[in-house]
Amino acid sequence: MIHTIAFDADDTLWHNEIIFTDTHERFRALFDEQCDPERVAKELYATEIRNLEIFGYGIKGFGLSMIETAIELSEGKVTGAQLQGILDGVKAMLAAPVNVLEGVTETLKELSGDFELMVITKGDLFDQETKIARSGLGDLFRHVEVVSEKSPAHYRTALHKYNLDPARFLMVGNSIKSDVLPVIELGARAVHVPYQTTWQHEVVAEEEYADVRFETLRSIRELPALVWSLHTA
Amino acid sequence: MIHTIAFDADDTLWHNEIIFTDTHERFRALFDEQCDPERVAKELYATEIRNLEIFGYGIKGFGLSMIETAIELSEGKVTGAQLQGILDGVKAMLAAPVNVLEGVTETLKELSGDFELMVITKGDLFDQETKIARSGLGDLFRHVEVVSEKSPAHYRTALHKYNLDPARFLMVGNSIKSDVLPVIELGARAVHVPYQTTWQHEVVAEEEYADVRFETLRSIRELPALVWSLHTA
């Protein structure tokens, strides 16, 4: 019997990747007279991934990576206007309206009567907390846990923290790599609800999970039926 | 009877403010040919505080504030070398060795036999977690809670999360504003262990806590005796 249903936040409860995609595009536009757009995109992604180890996930680290890429691409001749454009982009991302995905509010409300709901998300603590507050969904969650990474060990710590039994725990998220595989590895259940696009860094080759069995839903609206089917199985 | 002793991390367990002070100095040096050092310091602090609302606490937000200040001070003519100097400073801060304060390791080891120890700290989640890992103190703590702010509401949520009774909870930290007053407001106990310097933003006027009673220790080494005195009181 499922007791707790945990949701990833970005691109599971609300749009997020699109904000990064927009910022990437605006970043490319800042350099379109100096550099080939493909090169800009490639350099930015390379800097971002290289810096994950020191910055972790989140918008502020991404902002610092944009500035570093700008210095490199311009060979140190980045202009004040370009820099200001980057900083404005970072602030716009942090203040962006939280657009809850279609079907999420109704589904969470329906489930909250019978199950304990929580959020497990990675990224900047401060940014994630303000997004939950701005989403209007905050009251539906018993717990909110922001983690620095979504490895099996991080999930184990989170479950332990709230005294949750893996056998009665279900994770719901858009990333097979972060929301599904590590949770199944712990002996808990996970459901995949894909978002329209996936950040390159979260893409995992199909061969890597050929033997892992999990459900993929077309919409979060299918979640209640799935949860109840687990109950009666 | 005290059951859980929670410690602030930065400037309570290890040196931190000094890393910011060093970076402030290096930032001033980057602009010493263009600007009066006092003006640089004043502008940086103003930007930092103005941006707290959108960036939250932590090194990455501070880094973005340094870049914003650099654009302003140089009237948009900041050089690639200055920018690189700022980014290098941010990375150096994030990778800085964790210098545990004198007496901390022995005191925590002594207390850990009889009490549940935890950390409650604010800042970047990722940065705080790596510092705890690098400090070598991680195994002494039953829980680590990184919070976005240290208000009474944030402490209430944290205590609730771990099922902690305020009557059996003691907080130890260097900030009267963040570690002492909000905890006492909840009906729990708090002890002040001052650090050599206090970030301006954490300074609170003495009148504001004239009626609040708490102990101030000269060194964390005095903590075990204080804790036992609470037990026998």
Q: What is the CA radius of gyration of chain B?
A: 19
Which three-class secondary structure state does DSSP give residue A10? strand
- For the segment A54-72, the average pLDDT, to the nearest whole number, is 95
- Short-list A176, A156, A174, A173, CA closest to A165: A156
The model's pLDDT over B6-25, given as tens digits with 9 standing for 90+, comes to 999 999 999 999 999 999 99
Residue A143 neighbours by CB distance under 10 Å: 18
Terminal-residue alpha carbon distance, chain B: 9
The edge-to-edge listing of strands for the beta sheet with A189-192 is: A143-147, A116-122, A4-7, A169-173, A189-192, A215-216
- pLDDT bin (cut points 50, 70, 90) of residue B231 is confident
Statement: residue A19 has pLDDT above 70: yes
Position A167 scores a pLDDT of 96
Percent of chain B surpassing pLDDT 90: 85
pTM listed for this prediction: 0.89
The model's pLDDT over A187-221, given as tens digits with 9 standing for 90+, comes to 999 999 999 877 888 888 888 888 899 999 999 99
Dihedral angle of Cα A144, A145, A149, A154, to the nearest 10 degrees? -140
Position B204 scores a pLDDT of 86
Tell if the CB–CB gap between A87 and B64 is shorter than 8 Å: yes
Q: Is B147 on the interface with A (CB under 8 A)?
A: yes
Of the residues A34, A59, A64, the best mutation for testing chain B's interface (the one with the most B CB atoms within 10 Å of its CB) is: A64
ipTM metric: 0.88
Q: Is B58 on the interface with A (CB under 8 A)?
A: yes
Q: What share of chain A is helix, strand, coil (3-state, %, to 5)?
A: 55, 15, 30
Statement: residue A79 has pLDDT above 90: yes
Give the whole-angstrom CA distance, residue A169 versus residue A179: 13
- For the segment A170-199, the average pLDDT, to the nearest whole number, is 94
Statement: residue A46 has pLDDT above 70: yes
Contact B72, B60 (CB under 8 A): no
Q: What share of chain B is helix, strand, coil (3-state, %, to 5)?
A: 55, 15, 30
Q: Is A146 on the interface with B (CB under 8 A)?
A: yes
- pLDDT bin (cut points 50, 70, 90) of residue A233 is low
Statement: residue A12 has pLDDT above 90: yes
Q: Which two tokens stand for residue A83?
A: 């820099």
Statement: residue B149 has pLDDT above 90: yes
Burial class (CB in 10 A: 0-12, 13-18, 19+), A214: middle
A54: nearest CB among B78, B79, B95: B95
Q: Which amino acid is at A61?
A: G
Statement: residue A174 has pLDDT above 90: yes
Statement: residue A232 has pLDDT above 80: no
Q: Is B50 on the interface with A (CB under 8 A)?
A: no
Domains of chain A: 4-14+98-232 (3.40.50.1000), 17-95 (1.10.150.240)
Of the residues B48, B57, B60, the best mutation for testing chain A's interface (the one with the most A CB atoms within 10 Å of its CB) is: B60
Indicate the pairing of strand A4-7 with strand B169-173: unpaired
Position B233 scores a pLDDT of 64
Burial class (CB in 10 A: 0-12, 13-18, 19+), A167: exposed
Dihedral angle of Cα A19, A24, A30, A35, to the nearest 10 degrees? -170
Dihedral angle of Cα A80, A85, A86, A90, to the nearest 10 degrees? 130
The model's pLDDT over B85-138, given as tens digits with 9 standing for 90+, comes to 999 999 999 999 999 999 999 999 999 999 999 999 998 899 999 999 999 999
pLDDT-wise least confident of A52-56, B9-13, B195-199: B195-199
Tell if the CB–CB gap between A126 and B74 is shorter than 8 Å: no
Position B200 scores a pLDDT of 80
Position A34 scores a pLDDT of 84
Percent of chain B surpassing pLDDT 70: 100
Tell if the CB–CB gap between B64 and A90 is shorter than 8 Å: yes
- For the segment B136-155, the average pLDDT, to the nearest whole number, is 95
Nearest chain A residue to B75 by CA distance is A80
Q: Which residues contact B94 (CB under 8 A, 6 or more apart)?
A: A54, A55, B59, B60, B127
Which three-class secondary structure state does DSSP give residue A174? coil
- For the segment B182-205, the average pLDDT, to the nearest whole number, is 90
Give the whole-angstrom CA distance, residue B9 versus residue B131: 9
